[in-house]
A and B are shown apart, each in its own frame.
Chain A
């Protein structure tokens, strides 16, 4: 439960981080679909989407630069930023969300009672609440991922950096008696991204691709004024 900064002395070899190169992102939205399929995220339908009740853990935010007709559309893939000093964690009265030793902001669905304080305290608005009981039509329930639970109505959920894939990667490495190799664990969004804008890895490993990219001059974090030490690093500014 300690709020460790990622420069602090650490007791764990892994600290997961993601780099998203906005200069590569063309806003195709493949990552959002991949996330939806991988993580059993329900599809809510047109009406509820209009009510702002979409459940997507990862969304492409679309902004416009300039005035018509000199418009430029900018895309920002928005997902849980896995803050080291996550504002959602201390406000949960039941420890349904907490910080794990690998720097992930973890959600325990079975512990959540739905006070929704975490969602209020998240400046990115990436926490999603199950407003209704989710349904999958007849053949669709066959495609649910068995590695991740289907959430009940009344609980919060959010991006986990594909927790189940991290788990599987680490188990593999452990079986073979080694550390996790760089690039061995790939979340669904990174796997799907056609322009390879998303990179995932262990930022504690200085030779990892993520650590290399994080040294870029184009690096920035979202809403840095809150001092949250987010672990999704955005690259932007190259032409």
Chain B
């Protein structure tokens, strides 16, 4: 798979044996946490290797992804020229796959930055290797999510009416509309997630800059992006402060964003959408699918870039525990929503539930089946310690959560108050192409990011190493962690 021979000898970085990583995992699984101690140079090599070494497989995959994205863009262009009629949307099913995908991608974006800020604030030591990957996931999935309302609107060329731009007629946006809040929330979240990612990147960009061979094309922009970071004492103090405040800020924004997304539904009078549980239900669902996304990405990165020594099984195990917790919470909210409408016994809502189990039965039961299966599977220690199994669960959970969003949006609209308007909706080819291309777009952005900026949080890992040491208690070696403030 590797084509190290393509690179001139003077630009080659030291080889890394993955055997050591596997041995480490074996040791960790046997309960010997203390084996982990990685030298500074080795850490640099492993961490920056994904950035500087590119295999042929990577090029092939990127080209395939780019082609899918190009196809999606072509479909979008076709939709703009022809009108929204190329979708399967109709009267009165005005929202469909695009809005489901929007909710899904906003959901995926939730875990990255938010979990990263929670872990930073709670000083969880296992956070260090997963921070960057998760934060990047947030930014890219939000970029994808933000695309969907744009694809969805009927008159794309007038979308700037959504912005509160000053104009002669003093016509402002309608602040009563959840869509206006929604746009504001997404913008705030995207901006702050981007800043959070960038601030965290600073020391690592500087590291990559110093590490980068002089002739390499990356040197120029790395120099620029590092903003003159030299790692002085003062710079570190400022850096720590900024990350702390940003973490607090992000923690406040993140739940509000998905609550507002849920208000797009809950603020309407559409039966089954008009429920007060949607706020927390959406947030929990978002974190649930987001954690699954983080796990999937981490296993993928670890596998493709041989990061076994950095992203270890312990980290995945800890993430899977969070996933288990979130899946149980999601289940609670899901059935609470169900039971509330059952108890309320509103004829329209009951009819829609019946319609959902009837017409959308296979989807509903696939979704429930996967979620119940993942709760059951994650209860086992052996599953939580196996990256392969976690990868499968991560993918399955996200499939299930996509279906869940689809089932929130579509069945109600096809079968609501006025029986004369009852209809059916199956996403058209153009819609499906765009939804698939959005997935490819996300992966493409991520793949390019890995090559442009360091994907591993080297500075944070190094901080963790500096703050901890191995201590012997009797015949056991235990890793002891100190606190930065002390």
Contacts and interface: CB of A to CB of B under 8 A. Distances in A.
Contact of A132 (B85, B90, B179, B183): B85
Contact of B83 (A51, A63, A154): A154
Interface string B436-456: 000000000000000000000
B177 A61 contact: no
B161 A130 contact: no
Contacts of A111: 161, 171
A112 B155 CA distance: 8
Contact of A93 (B83, B95, B173): B173
B84 interface: yes
Contact of A125 (B177, B179, B421): B421
Contacts, number: 146
Given A120-B94, A132-B82, A154 B418 contact: no
B174 interface: yes
B174 A90 contact: yes
Contacts of B267: 90-91
B110 interface: no
B179 A91 contact: yes
B83 A123 contact: no
Contacts of A226: 269, 417
B129 to A, nearest CB: 41
Interface residues of B, number: 43
Contacts of A122: 92
Contacts of A116: 89, 94-95, 152, 154
Interface in A100-135: 111-117, 119-125, 127-133
A114 B155 CA distance: 6
Interface string B165-192: 0000001111011111001000000000
B162 interface: yes
A91 B83 CA distance: 23
A11 B85 CA distance: 42
A9 interface: no
B268 interface: yes
A120 B92 contact: yes
Nearest to A156: B154
A125 B92 contact: yes
Contact of B173 (A87, A94, A119): A94
A120 B84 contact: no
Nearest to B424: A52
Contacts of A121: 268-270
Interface string B123-162: 0000000000000000000000000010011111011011
B359 interface: no
A152 interface: yes
A54 interface: yes
B91 interface: yes
A138 B161 CA distance: 34
A130 B131 CA distance: 46
Contacts of A124: 417-418
B95 A61 contact: no
Given A53-B91, A90-B174, A123-B417, A117 B268 contact: yes
Contacts of A133: 82-83
A10 interface: no
B423 A52 contact: yes
A153 B83 CA distance: 6
Interface in B66-97: 82-85, 89-92, 94-95
Nearest to B171: A95
Contact of B91 (A54, A87, A90, A92): A54
A119 B417 contact: no
Contact of B420 (A93, A94, A125): A125
B418 A125 contact: yes
Interface in A58-75: 59, 61-63
A121 B418 CA distance: 12
Contacts of B173: 93-95
A223 interface: yes
B417 A120 contact: no
Given A112-B154, A154-B155, A117 B91 contact: no
Contact of A114 (B92, B153, B177, B178): B153
A78 interface: yes
Given A95-B171, A123-B418, 8 more contacts: A61-B418, A87-B268, A111-B171, A114-B84, A114-B154, A121-B268, A130-B154, A132-B82
Interface of B: 82-85, 89-92, 94-95, 149, 152-156, 158-159, 161-162, 171-174, 176-180, 183, 264, 267-270, 413, 416-421, 423
5 contacts: A52-B91, A114-B155, A115-B152, A116-B154, A131-B90
* A-B complex: 3 closest residue pairs judged by Cβ atoms: A114-B154, A154-B154, A131-B85
